[in-house]
Structure formats: structure tokens, C-alpha cells
Structure 1
């Protein structure tokens, strides 16, 4: 390294400036010696260049000698200060007013490199650690003193410690304020611990329901936790208000430390102003509550359902209030609301009408809680008192007022008695087996007040039901518990005997006439009844589980066998007569008849070739010409048959071959082949 002395400021003082100049002046009167101070110069400015593009400056501060001063530079300038100077040596002669001369030689240093050694650094152990270091030193420079400035605030130190991961810079300046800056990054050996927290403050005063829940990422799990409470859990619950600190470490020793505060809730305080009800039943009482503490907004729930801070338009009584703040904290309080005047009208007794249409109603009342005397006013009779008798059915309204001005009113309804209504109902009890009849009559009662007294015209009493055995008029009298009476009568008919002479018979036949006289399965059979007029209802049972209520039903037997068909008829008394017949149902035998010729001439006779068959479940027919070419085919049992055409053209007369395949009801398959003659 070049010695800094070579590049320091060089100021040379001439011999003339170093010696003391004495100036003697003599007068004729006496001889005195005057001595002045030496000229002294302070040099400042930019006396060293940091780069080739810079220019230097020289600023002189001259003292001593006798002002004013004159200046002469070796570059012939005569100004005191110099600017825009290149590097080099500048000499100035300073002469004061009495001729003293001082010579100053000043060197403006040429640019000299400031070079730093490569920065030495140690990365942090983890992303959340702060144990990184950095060290800087000068490789080439003009010498001490150096000014060092770190971007994290450190000054005039060659080493920085406790650095967290991140980007930093350091600036080094020499004694001429020429500087150089280098940047560097402190990295992390592993990802730092990242922590986010969810704080649950106390919801209600006095509770310990605070919580701190931590979410951890980064670092290398597992983590360990040390709280200032002594807990080693990740999360804390059931906390009181206060500050809680935690130290978190991962398995590499990387750590994270933080503190969290649990805030206390403010207790809810409730004050009230109660305005009593002015008069009993006036419903103008009020309770106004004022709240302090808790967390707004508040919700209010009164025991009568109101939901505001002011309970209004209520009667005297007990009321409960529950206030809930925004955090769900509650306070409950009971209130007693009184009445300024407790005027009350009490119903002692009320009697409704005993019998319909009578004036037997009554109202008996009592006044209590009045302030002073009171007055009563009935809307229908202003002269009536508290107790009223002989009232007809209706509604009666009373107003009572006391001396305080409070009034109470009430309505009383005298109900009309429900009139007694009675109805005689009759029925005939018939024994079909022996042919006997018994008449039964009973009375249905509505209204009135039980128990009832019942008296029949036939002499029976106390019974709602009697028997009769002849035609005529029946009367009944009903009296209820209040003596209210109702009478009714009815005409009854009584038959002399049960008519059992009615005729009942039936016959049956096939609905579609064919050559088979026997009843076959799947054939429609109509049953024709002969029923006398005395019968009003009938029912068929066909012996195969099926039944019908038609008079002449049509029935199909789906299986072969002997079936007992029963016809039952009923008369007006519910007595029945029965007629039965046995019907034999046969299963048809399959057959097929194939014609040997047909004449498709449109006369409606034998126009198509189709076999006649019975009891066949599946069928197919194919027609071939004499060369074996298929000219017609069908699988439908509903087909009308081959009409003697092929592809829309009439086939020539002659012989054709057929193949017919069918399956019997038993599942056996048959095939028939042969010839048929087409005649035109």
C-alpha cells in the first residue's frame, strides 16, 4: 500500500513566510519600533479528486499581516480562491498592505482508487433468525480515517453482527470523502418460522374464555413451545386478561418469539327509570333502561316480547329483561311496575238464560281498589246498580269511574239458552229365518241441559228407546234440568208380514254363437237373471273367485272345470234368496283346416288363402311358387291371408306351395306343407 503521507495535503511555507518581518519607522521626535503578526493561511476546498471527471477547488482563509492582501498564482491568476482545477501543485504569493509576502504551495491530489476487499459474510441459520454477520476492509486507499456506513444504521465499524436474512449495503469513504458502496445478501440456511395468530378476547366481564391460537409454518417441525405461563402447548385457552409471551423453536434450533395480549371485557351495567301505570288497565306504564359497559350494539328481550330499551304501553305487573351485547354477554333483571290507581271491576256471578226466550239472566259485580267514591254507568240503563236481575240474552257494558279520574269498563254477555231439539227415528228389526218383525223407535236430543226427563205417548218414561208393533203416530216429550220442554211426533208404518214369494232364477248362453255347444275357456258367457220386483239387490259369484253386482253380467272362465255359479238376491228387509247352477267349462282342442284352392276375384267368397285354426298360440305361413321363390309370408293370426298378389302384381293362376308352422296351447309345435291352387 502506498503510504498515506504521499497523498496527504502538502503545504510548503517559503523562507520569507517563515521568518518574522519587522518594520521600523522612525520619526524625528522619537524612535519607536512597530511589529506586525506573520501572515497565516488556512487552506480548504476539494484538494483530492475521486474521479478523472471531477475538478478541484482551493479556498484560502488569510489572517495576520496588514490587510488588504494581493494574490499571485503560479498560473498567473490573481483571485483569492481557485475552482475547476486539475490535479497538480499550485503556488500562491500573498502580499499584505505593507509589503510582507507569504508563499503557499498547495497540491490537488490526482484520482486514487478506493478498493475494498471481498466482503466476508455468514448467513443466518434460519429465515426467522438474526445471527448473520458481515465484515468489510480496504484493500487500496489513501489511509485512515475511513467513514463506514451500513444500511441497517451501523456506523464506523468494519463488522456487522445480528443480521436477519435480507439485502444490505455498506459505504466506505476516505478522508477526502471519496466513497465506494457494495451490496450483499444475508441468506437463511433454512426457511424461517412463520407464525400467525388468532386472538379471542374475553367475551364477557369476569370470564376466563380468552384464547390464543397459533398457526405455524416454515422451519422444520416438530416445534416446541414455551409460554410465560409454563405451558408447552401450541395454543392457550381459558385465559384471563393479560399479556402472554411464547418462544417457538424448530428441530434445528431456529426460534421465534412474540407476545400477545388478551383484552378484558367491560361489564354491562343497567339503570332504569320506572313510570307506573296511571290506572289499572290503562296500559300506559313504562320502564326505560340505560346501559353502560359491554360492547354495543345491544339487543333487548322483555318477558312480554318487546325488544327495545324502553318497555312501553304496559299494565302493572312483573317484567323481566335480558340484555345481550355484541359479544353475546348478557345481564338479566326483574322489574315491578305498579299502578297509581288500582280501580278494578270484579265479576261475582253471572247467570245465562236457562230456557230459550226467557228473561232469567243476571249479573252480580264488585268494585275494588278505587280511590275515593266511584260511579257506575250501564250503557243500556244508566240508573242500574252493580247487580242486575231478570235480563234477556244480550251484551251489557258497564263503566266505573273513581275520584282520581281512573275508569274501568267491561262487557258481560248473557248467553241465550240452547233450545231443546228432539227427533224420533225408527227402524224395523227383521228375523229372516223365522219371519218375525219388531219396530224400534228412539229419540235423538240436542240442546238443553242434562239430565232429561222423557215421556212417550205409548206410556213408557225415562227411556230414549222403545219398541212398537203397529202402524200409527208416536209422540215424545223431553224436559231438561231447568224444566225447559220440547215435544215431537212421527208417523210409523208396520208391515203385517215378510213377503217370501219372490221368484229367482237365471240362465246362461254364449255371447258369440259358434258350432261348439259346450262352454269353452276364454269365451264370453252372458248370465241372464229372472228376479222378482220384491228384490232390490243382487250379487253373482262365478265359482272361480270372481263376482259381479250387475243384473245380467258377462263372464269369461279362464280355466277348464266345473264351476258353481250362485245368484243371491236381497229384499227391502235384508232377507236373501239364493239360486245355484253348475257350469262345465272345457278346454278347446287345437285344429287347423287348410283349403286346397282359392279364387281372388273380389266377390267376397274365398278371396284369400288362409287356414282355419283353433287353440293355436303361435302361427306362421309362407307361400312359394313352383320354382321355390318366396312370394308371401305372415306370422299374424289376425291376417286375412294371401290375396294372390306378389309385389303389387297379380300372380298367375296355377299351383303354389305352402309351409305352415303353429304351436298348440300345450306348447307343442307342428309344421304342415302342401299345395294350393290359385284359380282366376
Structure 2
């Protein structure tokens, strides 16, 4: 608990002030004159903060003088008592009805950390012992005296002894009753130890991966262990199946004895039943396995990716199975699946299409392993024989059956040839200097088989690139090494001349108008271009290493000097024109003007105290009242200035002092001090 600090202050004013404060009262019976006593004040409330989230309060008990009293605080408040206060010094002027003045200064202390060192404790030797102890100390605080309260009733002592096992707490409070509490436990070994075990039996048959892990509670550490294996460690690992016993003793001689069993794992046994494939390629073979031993559930992974205990839809061949039980134990077995009939189709030759869209495909086959005679049937042409010729691109399916009733079906895909793809591309080769134009056309070819024969409509042959000098249609025919052909055509336009009549010019001006007509460093300058429609692209060079592709860019020069600004424009043929201009950029002179008064009345005129600044790199300002207390400070060039308040309260009108420090662009530092009048 945090208790408010009661501060009682009695101040006697001089006799001369007391005489002035006296007020005569006429008694109609005896004409006695009664004099008032001096004013005395008792101060209470919350006069110290324990955290930054708290607020202080001041309660005044005024006696003496002649009531009623008036109050005026240094923060301009006129109430007797104050609440919701930040840390700081508060001054109140108390005036009684006779005009006697009493001044009281009260300090609300700021928060100060109270940090304890880690608590030092000694546990009890056993559960019934009272020989535990604890010791606490302050690492950071306001200094002696501290109030110390232990939960066992001890007070104002840094160390307590004779503690029984249990939970305790201690509270430390400083001179202002700001406190911090820490809790701790005094432990002890019980008369008997409590031991729990985690046993891992053998996961797989034949392995020695059993383990026994013990968790000890009670007693008094350290403990000693004696296993029937000769081991003296707490836990055992890499154990075979069997029984293991241990004797545990604590430091006081208390003992615990127990035995644990590691169980053997049962091995996994596989039994299979095979159903051969009826006909070669039929894919109806099966392998069914059953499992004995291990720990269910089981997982299955066949060599063909199936994951059940039954392999189905299998063709003749070799297969393997890996079985894993719930403990991670595995067994693997291989199987060979046969077939009742070996009817098979063998592809001897397959020819794809040589030229796109032609009928030049072939399929040649051989039947093997048939039982007796066989019959063939193509789905697209049942009358066709085993071998096929003059086929177009597509998929062909053949069904073959023998006298045993087995059938085999197979599909063959005749791929179409990649068609020859030709594309004519054109460009105009322009000489901007002399104004000549040459048309260039070239053909891009994909597909087919090289080498190609190329025939242009203008009579040129075997040239991928030709020139032209008039508008019209261009055609080209491509023939590849296999005789496959392709043809393409394009319409070309040829201009009669290059247009050189484009107009190019530009102006510039400041983006923000001010009293300085010259261009200054770091001022935004907008460049306004005059560019004819014949130009489709443009680029600016500002002479300071910077450039822009905007039509009307905004630019700032970072240093003073003369800069040649060049505007270059380009037409559709890549020909360019330029316009140049020299711009002089001046370095601004530093400037500071400090007002001597301001009126923070919210009318928008002279509401803030802030100097006028120019061409400065650093700036700081501090405001003091006439008592020398700092009430405002800033170090930002972007500050709006002092608004005449302090800690959220309006400062009284009057004179204040300022100290201003600034640095010019050349690095020279200046300091100015003076006074400013706050007018309300």
C-alpha cells in the first residue's frame, strides 16, 4: 500500500506584516480591538509519485489570519486544494480577508525506481525443519530509512531466519511509502522421496533401445543411484529386455528402492497370397499380405507406390513391400508375380509426319507370345492389317487377341511435323544528318528442317534481308530441306521525306514565388517546355549531373553556380533537336530575426514565439521564466515555436528569457540570448 506523505509546515510572518494583517473589530459593549493571529498551513496529500502513471495531490489546512482566504498558485489556479499533479514545485500565495499574505512552496517528488537485488535464501534441511532463511537488499532506491515487512511478521530487518518450508513474501517501502514486493518459497526434502518413471520398451525385435528415465521429488539433493547393472546415473538407456532395480539415497540418508521391466518387442512376420496376371498387360494381378507380430497399426509402401495390404491391378513382374508398425519397426519382402498368357505387341518402327499436314506416317508391329493364331483390329479401320502406312497425324489403337482369349491393346501416336513459321519484319534506316531513308525487311523462320530456300516477291532469292524504297506489299516463300513450304506477306509504308520543321523551346520559373528574384540553392524550379507534336520523346540535362524525362520537370540545384540546361527532343525516326539555356544559381545568405513579444490569444496573429530563419543547418531554442526554470525547449528547424504554455497550463503574462543557438551553412555556430514579453 502507498500512503500519502503528510507534510506540516508552520511559517511565522514578520511582526510588521502581522500588524498590517490585523483587523480591528469594534465591540459595542467594551470597545475592545481584537487582533488576528498569523497564518499557518499544514500540507498533506500525495506529495511523491511512485510511478509515471500516478498523479500527485496537495491538500491545504489553513489556520490563523482572518477568513475567508484566497489562493493563487504559480500555475494560475485559484482553488485551495490541487489534484492530478505532475512532479514539480508548486507555489501558492494565500491572502486572508485582512490582506495578510502567506506564501507556501510545496514539492511533489518525481518517481524514483526501487529495485531489489535477487533474494538470497537457504532452504530447510527437511520437511519438519525450521532452519530456512532469506535475505533481501536494495540495489537502487532513495536511501535509508526503508520500511521492511516480511509475511511471517518480522519488520525492519533485512534477513529472517528459522523459516519452515512454505511460501513467503517481503515488502520494501522507501521514505515516501513507494513499495515493491517479492515472493519466494522455502523448500525442504520430505521424509520419503517420490519417484516417477518413464519407460521405453524395445521398439523392434532384436534391438537394445529400451530406456528408464526417473523424476525425483522430495528428499534432499544431491541423490545417489545404485542400479543392479552397476550404473550410478539417474537414467538408463540402450537397454535390452529384462528387469532393472535401483536404490536411491538423498543427502540425509533417506532411501527409495524400486524395480522396472523392459519388455521385448514381437517380430513382424509376413504371409502372402499371389494371384497371377491373367494375360500379359491385363493388369489384373494381385498380392495379398497378412501380418503377425509387431504393433498395430501398420503402414504399407509397395514399390509401385500403392499403400494398402493388398497390391491390386498389377502386371507380371517383380515387386517389393515395406511394412512399418506403430513403433517404427520395419520389415521388407520381395515378390515375383507371373502371368497366365504372354501375348505381347512389339513396336518395330514408327514414322511421324515429315511435312505438316501430309499423310506420311507409318506403324510396323510384331506379335509375340501368342497362344495359337491371333486376330488384329484397328479402331479407326477394322479392315487394316497389322502394319499401317500413309497415316496422317493422330492416335491409332490396335486390339490383338489370341486363341486363349487373352487380348492386348496398345495405342500409337503419329506426331505432326512442326510447321514452318515465317514472319517478315521491317524497319526504316534514317540518316538524320543528310535526310535520307532506306527501308529494310528481313524474314524470321522457325520450324522445318534447315537449310532453307528463300524466294522474295521482288525477285531476290536465298537472302534473309532485303532493302525496299517504296510502299507496297512484300511476299516471301520458305522451302526447307524436306521440301516443306510456307509463305507470308506484309504491307510496308515508305515515307517521302523526314520532317524537320519541329519547334523546340523552354522557359523556367520558381515554383514558389518569394521576394528573391534570383534562383537560389535548393529552390524548386519548374521548367516549362514548348515541344511540337512531331517530337515523340524528350530528355532534360540540368548541367549538375541530374536529368529527367518528364515534359515539364521540377528541379532543385543543390550548389551555387552557372548551369547549362539542355532540352533534347526526338522524332519518330530518332532524329533529335536541342535547346540550351544558362541558369545562374545563387547561394542564400543566412538570416535570423527574433521578435520581442507575442500574443498567444488564438487569433492567428503572433500566437507563437519563433524566430524567422533562413539558410541554417541547425537550430535550438530554450525558454526560461524569471526564476530561471526551463519551461520550453526545441532543437528542430521545423518547430512552430512556443505557444505560451508549460506542462499543459497557460503561463502568466510577463517577461521571459530565451537562449537561441544556430549553425550557418558554412558550419559557424552562434548563440543569442534576450527577453520576450508574453502578452495576454
TM range, normalised to the smaller chain?
0.5 to 0.7
Distance 1:632 1:228, change over 3 A: closer
Match of 1:634 in 2: 606
Residue 243 of structure 1 contacts residue 259 of structure 1 at CA under 8 Å; is this kept in 2? yes
2-structure distance, mates of 1:203, 1:540: 79
Residue 564 of structure 1 contacts residue 583 of structure 1 at CA under 8 Å; is this kept in 2? yes
Q: Does 1:408 align with 2:421?
A: no
User: What is the CA-CA distance between 1:376 and the residue it aligns to?
Assistant: 0.6
Please state whether the residue corresponding to 1:341 is helix, strand or coil. Answer: coil
- Comparing 231-240 with 266-275, greater Cα deviation is found at 231-240
Q: Does 1:269 align with 2:269?
A: yes
Matches within 5 A, 1:476-487: 476-487=476-487
Residue 378 of structure 1 contacts residue 396 of structure 1 at CA under 8 Å; is this kept in 2? yes
1-structure distance, mates of 2:261, 2:412: 69
Match of 1:444 in 2: 444
- Comparing 522-531 with 310-319, greater Cα deviation is found at 522-531
Match of 2:202 in 1: 202
Please state whether the residue corresponding to 1:277 is helix, strand or coil. Answer: coil
Q: Does 1:567 align with 2:539?
A: no
Residue 620 of structure 1 contacts residue 636 of structure 1 at CA under 8 Å; is this kept in 2? no
Match of 2:309 in 1: 309
Matches within 5 A, 1:580-619: 580-584=580-584
Name stretches of at least 5 consecutive residues in structure 1 with no aligned partner.
1-125, 128-188, 591-614, 624-628, 638-662, 672-680
2-structure distance, mates of 1:221, 1:253: 10
2-structure distance, mates of 1:578, 1:377: 80
2-structure distance, mates of 1:211, 1:509: 87
Matches within 5 A, 1:203-602: 203-216=203-216, 224-248=224-248, 257-433=257-433, 435-458=435-458, 460-468=460-468, 473-494=473-494, 498-500=498-500, 502-506=502-506, 531=531, 534-543=534-543, 549=549, 561-584=561-584
In the TM superposition, what whole-angstrom CA distance separates every residue of 1:572-601 from its partner, at most 9, and x where no partner exists?
2211121212234567999xxxxxxxxxxx
Please state whether the residue corresponding to 1:286 is helix, strand or coil. Answer: strand
Distance 1:490 1:617, change over 3 A: farther
1-structure distance, mates of 2:272, 2:285: 13
User: What is the CA-CA distance between 1:454 and the residue it aligns to?
Assistant: 2.1
1-structure distance, mates of 2:547, 2:560: 18
Please state whether the residue corresponding to 2:538 is helix, strand or coil. Answer: strand
Q: How many residues align?
A: 434
2-structure distance, mates of 1:235, 1:368: 68
Please state whether the residue corresponding to 2:371 is helix, strand or coil. Answer: coil
Residue 220 of structure 2 contacts residue 250 of structure 2 at CA under 8 Å; is this kept in 1? yes
1-structure distance, mates of 2:588, 2:237: 93
1-structure distance, mates of 2:529, 2:209: 93
Please state whether the residue corresponding to 1:312 is helix, strand or coil. Answer: strand
User: What is the CA-CA distance between 1:401 and the residue it aligns to?
Assistant: 1.1
User: What is the CA-CA distance between 1:555 and the residue it aligns to?
Assistant: 6.8
Matches within 5 A, 1:185-200: 191-192=191-192, 195-200=195-200
User: What is the CA-CA distance between 1:332 and the residue it aligns to?
Assistant: 0.9
Distance 1:243 1:575, change over 3 A: same
Distance 1:561 1:234, change over 3 A: closer
Residue 420 of structure 1 contacts residue 448 of structure 1 at CA under 8 Å; is this kept in 2? yes
Residue 620 of structure 1 contacts residue 634 of structure 1 at CA under 8 Å; is this kept in 2? no
1-structure distance, mates of 2:502, 2:574: 14
In the TM superposition, what whole-angstrom CA distance separates every residue of 1:82-139 from its partner, at most 9, and x where no partner exists?
xxxxxxxxxxxxxxxxxxxxxxxxxxxxxxxxxxxxxxxxxxxx99xxxxxxxxxxxx
Please state whether the residue corresponding to 1:279 is helix, strand or coil. Answer: coil
2-structure distance, mates of 1:219, 1:589: 85
Match of 1:41 in 2: none
Residue 506 of structure 1 contacts residue 528 of structure 1 at CA under 8 Å; is this kept in 2? yes
In the TM superposition, what whole-angstrom CA distance separates every residue of 1:382-424 from its partner, at most 9, and x where no partner exists?
1111111112233322111122212122222333334323221
1-structure distance, mates of 2:222, 2:518: 99
2-structure distance, mates of 1:287, 1:578: 86
Residue 245 of structure 1 contacts residue 260 of structure 1 at CA under 8 Å; is this kept in 2? yes
Residue 268 of structure 2 contacts residue 291 of structure 2 at CA under 8 Å; is this kept in 1? yes
User: What TM-score does the superposition give when structure 1 sets the normalisation length?
Assistant: 0.53
1-structure distance, mates of 2:399, 2:221: 86
Please state whether the residue corresponding to 1:306 is helix, strand or coil. Answer: coil
1-structure distance, mates of 2:569, 2:275: 86
Residue 212 of structure 2 contacts residue 237 of structure 2 at CA under 8 Å; is this kept in 1? yes
Residue 287 of structure 2 contacts residue 310 of structure 2 at CA under 8 Å; is this kept in 1? yes
Residue 598 of structure 2 contacts residue 608 of structure 2 at CA under 8 Å; is this kept in 1? no
Please state whether the residue corresponding to 1:411 is helix, strand or coil. Answer: strand
Residue 477 of structure 1 contacts residue 486 of structure 1 at CA under 8 Å; is this kept in 2? yes
User: What TM-score does the superposition give when structure 2 sets the normalisation length?
Assistant: 0.53
Match of 1:676 in 2: none
Residue 191 of structure 2 contacts residue 254 of structure 2 at CA under 8 Å; is this kept in 1? no
User: What is the CA-CA distance between 1:349 and the residue it aligns to?
Assistant: 2.4
Please state whether the residue corresponding to 1:340 is helix, strand or coil. Answer: coil
User: What is the CA-CA distance between 1:364 and the residue it aligns to?
Assistant: 1.7
1-structure distance, mates of 2:526, 2:234: 94
- Comparing 310-319 with 397-406, greater Cα deviation is found at 310-319
